[in-house]
Amino acid sequence: MIIRNKTFCLVLLICSMMVIVTGCGNQIPEMTEAENALVTEYAAGILLQYHADYNGRLVDTSVPPVIEPIVQEPVVEETISDNSTEEIQEPDSETVSDNSASSGDGVTEVPQLSVAQVLGADGLDITCAGYEVSDSYPETEMSEDNMLFAMRAGAGNKLLVVKLNISNPTGTDIALNTISMTDLKCKLLINGSKKQNAYVSMLDQDLMMIDHVFVSGDNMLAVVVTEMPEEDASQIASVALTVQRGDNSATVNAMQ
């Protein structure tokens, strides 16, 4: 504030001198352009000398000014390869149960059941005794003393009869009741491709109509019967019998 007052007083002093000189009747001498420039520069120098923001010292050009460098943080660019793929770790393979059988190629094999196990008569020995093709079964003629149920094929057809031998090699009695097995099914596979459903007949020997207790050493012949065209029956090369209950099944091959 003091410097500004000094500047104001100096300007006022210069103006007063100009008025005094004019009032004295002295004319301001004419000056050249160069002289006017010098006076102007002198007056400006006087004003700047008393200005608060003015630094009158000369700048030392022998020492270069220190310029602090502007440090720019480096930009990290993430480079992603076009061929890069995220590695996915596959879970460990499941451990195969000790109760399941496994083949050499890692495929779990389901244990093969026997016909007796499917029928719930484990301990009985049920084997295939072959098959025959005929017009009727059994071929024994009926009489008054022999009231045997029999089946006869229709015109142009033949009966395919698969025979099974059932025995009890154990020392205990084993009961077999297939009449009560409502989910029991028997199917015949002919020549590896043609499927035939077995009939439920009134034959005493029908596998699906047995109600018998097998004592130790007991034997019985059971049969499974189906009907088919005579032409197809003449071309039979192989027969396989499948006995099924629910999800359980057993297959045996029949030889003629």
Residues 46 and 122 in one domain: no
**What local confidence, expressed as pLDDT, does residue 66 receive?**
53
Strands 184-190 and 211-214 turn out to be unpaired
Tens-digit pLDDT profile for the chain (256 aa)?
A: 444 555 555 555 565 555 454 444 445 566 677 766 776 766 666 655 555 554 544 445 555 555 555 555 555 454 444 444 444 444 444 443 344 444 455 555 556 899 999 999 999 999 999 999 999 998 765 555 555 678 999 999 999 999 999 999 999 999 999 999 999 999 999 999 999 999 998 888 999 999 999 999 999 999 999 999 999 999 999 999 999 999 999 999 988 7
Three-state secondary structure readout of 10-59: HHHHHHHHHHHHHHCCCCCCCCCHHHHHHHHHHHHHHHHHCCCCCCCCCC
Which residues are CB-contacts of 175 (< 8 A; sequence separation ≥ 6)? 121, 212, 213, 214
Residues 46 and 119 in one domain: no
DSSP three-state, residue 109: strand
| Side-chain-side CA neighbours of residue 101 (13 Å) | 5
**Is the peptide bond preceding residue 138 cis, with omega within 30 degrees of 0?**
yes
| Side-chain-side CA neighbours of residue 4 (13 Å) | 1
- Whether 190 contacts 236, CB under 8 Å: yes
CATH of the domain at 155: 2.60.40
- Dihedral sign for Cα 38, 43, 44, 49, please: positive
Residues 48 and 115 in one domain: no
Domain assignment of residue 192, yes or no: yes
**Residue 201 structure tokens:** 């007949």
pTM: 0.56
Q: What is the number of structural domains in the chain?
A: 2
- Whether 194 contacts 188, CB under 8 Å: no
Domain assignment of residue 80, yes or no: no
**What local confidence, expressed as pLDDT, does residue 139 receive?**
77
Burial annotation 52-68 (CB, 10 A radius, 16+ → b, else e):
eeeeeeeeeeeeeeeee
> Phi and psi dihedrals of 174, rounded to 5?
-130, 125
Domain assignment of residue 103, yes or no: no
Residues 42 and 148 in one domain: no
**What local confidence, expressed as pLDDT, does residue 83 receive?**
46
Identify residue 143 by its one-letter amino acid code.
S
- Domain membership of residue 14 as a residue range: 1-24+37-54
Residues 118 and 239 in one domain: yes
**What local confidence, expressed as pLDDT, does residue 100 receive?**
44
From 116, 119, 242, select the one nearest 177 (Cα to Cα). Answer: 119
**Residue 205 structure tokens:** 């020997």
Residues 118 and 15 in one domain: no
Please state, in angstroms and as integers, the Cα–Cα distance from residue 56 to each residue in 6, 46, 59, 142, following that order.
Answer: 17, 11, 9, 150
Residues 240 and 123 in one domain: yes
**What local confidence, expressed as pLDDT, does residue 42 receive?**
67
Domain assignment of residue 61, yes or no: no
